[in-house]
Amino acid sequence: MKTEVLIIGQGISGTWLSYYLEKSGIDHFVIDQENPHTASRQAGGLINPVTGRNKVKTWLADQLLPFCRTAYVEMGACLEVAVIESKPIIECFGNPEAAALFSRRVSENPNYLEIPSHSPIQLDLFHNCHEVGLIRPAYLVNVQSLLSSWRNRLRALEKIGAYNFDVHQLKETNTGFTYKDITCNRVIFCDGARIQERQISSTIPLAPTKGEALILKIPDLPPSFVYKNKLTLLPLSSPGYWWAGSSYEWSFDHANPTSSFKEQTVSALEKWLAIPFEVVEQRAAIRMGTMERRPLVGFDSPEKKMGSTQWIGYQRLFASPLLCPSVSRKFSKGNRH
């Protein structure tokens, strides 16, 4: 088989790159062994215009938020599934200092932050919540639906190989590369933490990071909002189920969920929620991160034959993916960004 671009990995970056290559009429083939435990498939999918405890405006938020919303709506229309919805964030203030800090940030970012005159939720849903702040626009992406639907499209078009990629079988030629029975002009790696297996990773300012999250059942919590305190609670597509997280660990012993994260998170939830909740599942995944938590994209050689994209969470490993459709779009046009 001959193709123009071989994409390794069908997480968020690989999916968007495939989408924009198809829109540009560039033939491509994806190699991805479906794994429910990858970072993309564990992602909460929150697009948040502010970041950190100080509520600083997210990098390029003014440009990326409207672009991301349009891109996801267009992707959903292409797949005939809803993959994004507006989901304002409610921040609960447990003390006057937190409320005062938020109020100061409102004057700096009035397009995204607000102290509502009347709370849009019942404050007795939470312990020690006397006032709330509102963050909007914010969006929630159904990452599972997005990835599965695009995978089904690739499968129908016979554009995906559902097997693990073995870098040792990739051979460079005068005109491009061969991999098993595939001949291509370019290879683009979108396989997250597996970049560590390749020699080029030493030249890229990335390090593995681990994140953990809990899946909860909270039937009495209104799903119209995302809720934030020290944790983030995201409503899932199944009614009454919530995603709670997450951690962002630079130092860890293994990729599996830990009892310490579960214990700390349950303890924090008990202090925060005044309504019953049940832990249904615990998740963990490893992905590559940077100190600035920004997406990276580029080619490894002047000939622009081999490239890599890395989607980096803007706040937490799972919680805030400004999910890089613009980066994939630029990459599909052959630019370095």
Confidence band (pLDDT; 50, 70, 90) for 327?
A: low
Q: What is the pLDDT of residue 314?
A: 31
- Structure confidence by residue, pLDDT tens digits, 209-231: 889 999 999 999 999 999 998 89
Tokens, residue 178: 């061969």
Checking if the pLDDT of 269 tops 90, the result is yes
Strand partners, 133: 91
Q: Is residue 117 part of a domain?
A: yes
Mean pLDDT of 161-187: 93
Confidence band (pLDDT; 50, 70, 90) for 326?
A: low
267 CB-contact burial (10 Å; exposed 0-12 / middle 13-18 / buried 19+): exposed
Compute the distance between CA of residue 70 and CA of residue 78 in angstroms, rounded to an integer. 12
- Structure confidence by residue, pLDDT tens digits, 91-112: 999 888 888 989 999 999 999 9
Q: What is the pLDDT of residue 251?
A: 86
Domain of residue 42, residue span: 2-332
- Percent of the chain, pLDDT > 70? 83
The more confidently predicted of residues 255 and 150 is: 150
Q: Is residue 140 part of a domain?
A: yes
Q: Is residue 337 part of a domain?
A: no
Q: What is the pLDDT of residue 320?
A: 38
Count: domains in the chain: 1
Q: Is 46 left (phi over 0), alpha (psi -120 to 50) or beta?
A: beta
298 CB-contact burial (10 Å; exposed 0-12 / middle 13-18 / buried 19+): middle
Compute the distance between CA of residue 114 and CA of residue 134 in angstroms, rounded to an integer. 5
- Structure confidence by residue, pLDDT tens digits, 10-52: 999 999 999 999 999 999 999 999 888 888 888 889 999 998 8
Amino acid at 10: Q
Question: How distant, in Å, are the alpha carbons of 123, 149, 226, 265 from that of 233?
Answer: 16, 25, 6, 11
The more confidently predicted of residues 89 and 332 is: 89
Checking if the pLDDT of 201 tops 60, the result is no
Q: What is the pLDDT of residue 35?
A: 86
φ and ψ at 189, to 5 degrees?
A: -90, 120
- Structure confidence by residue, pLDDT tens digits, 159-168: 999 999 998 9
Checking if the pLDDT of 158 tops 70, the result is yes
Average pLDDT, the chain: 86
CA angle 12, 29, 323 (to 5 degrees): 15
Q: Is residue 327 part of a domain?
A: yes
Compute the distance between CA of residue 225 and CA of residue 121 in angstroms, rounded to an integer. 9
Cα-to-chain-centroid distance, residue 6: 23
- Residue 167 sits in a domain whose CATH number is 3.50.50.60
DSSP conformational letter for 58: P
